Amino acid sequence: MNYLAHLLLAENTPDSRIGNLLGDFVKGRIDQENSPYSPGIIKGIRTHFKVDAFTDTHEVFKQSKKRIYSSQGRFSGVLIDVFYDHFLAKNWDLFSSEKLETFADNIYIILQKNYYLLPEKLQLILPRIILENWLVSYQKTEGIQQTCQRLGRRIKRPNHFAIAHHDLQQNYPELERDFFSFFPQLVKYVEQNRHTF
């Protein structure tokens, strides 16, 4: 899953929100004793990893990847993560009682207040995340197009991210059905297993 889904699946605390976001920036095993992060942030990072593992092995997610594999190859999973964030943002009211704009603003405040805790890579892009309101931009296909273009520039290997929005448009109904089949199962998995993460 991408940023928005991880943030929604976090517990409603700043530490959990930060940890669930940091999972994309922190690699390897987290050592509780030597970590600069609080137990809440570490639990959030672990939750992020569990969500990714559940997602990557789920048959519906695999089916979504197959829909765009012929044009995107090994990067199809990364793009499905982004596309699922689009469907989440578009249908946000079905999954949260809080308006997406309010949710995003609160996330940006948390990240600004805890700037010193963020990895340098996230510190560098945070001003753009806020200025361009990335989390809300996912609602529109134009926002997904911009996200894919940013990803394509960051990845050093040759890729077709710049035209990935065509894959979304060409498979839109099928991918949206996949999302609605998959995401409630992911929510249930996190809710039932959060205490073990």
Number of structural domains in the chain: 1
**Is 88 part of any domain?**
yes
**Is 26 part of any domain?**
no
**Is 90 part of any domain?**
yes
CA contacts within 13 A on the Cβ side of 137: 16
pLDDT level of residue 142 (50, 70, 90 thresholds): very high
Cα–Cα distance for residue pair 29/169, rounded to 1 Å: 38
The per-residue pLDDT for range 68-91, each reduced to its tens digit, is 999 999 999 999 999 999 999 999
pLDDT level of residue 184 (50, 70, 90 thresholds): very high
Q: Is the pLDDT of residue 159 over 90?
A: no
**Is 40 part of any domain?**
no
Kindly state the average pLDDT of the residues 168-175.
97
**Is 49 part of any domain?**
no
Q: Is the pLDDT of residue 33 over 90?
A: no
> What is the pLDDT, as a whole number, of residue 54?
97
The per-residue pLDDT for range 123-138, each reduced to its tens digit, is 999 999 999 999 999 9
Lowest mean pLDDT among 53-57, 108-112, 126-130, 148-152: 148-152
| Coil vs helix vs strand at 95 | coil
Q: Which residue has the tokens 């609602």?
A: 139
User: CA–CA distance from 94 to each of 47, 91, 100, 148, 183 (Å)?
Assistant: 22, 6, 11, 25, 11
**Is 37 part of any domain?**
no
**Is 86 part of any domain?**
yes
Question: Residue 75: which domain range?
Answer: 59-196
**Is 4 part of any domain?**
no
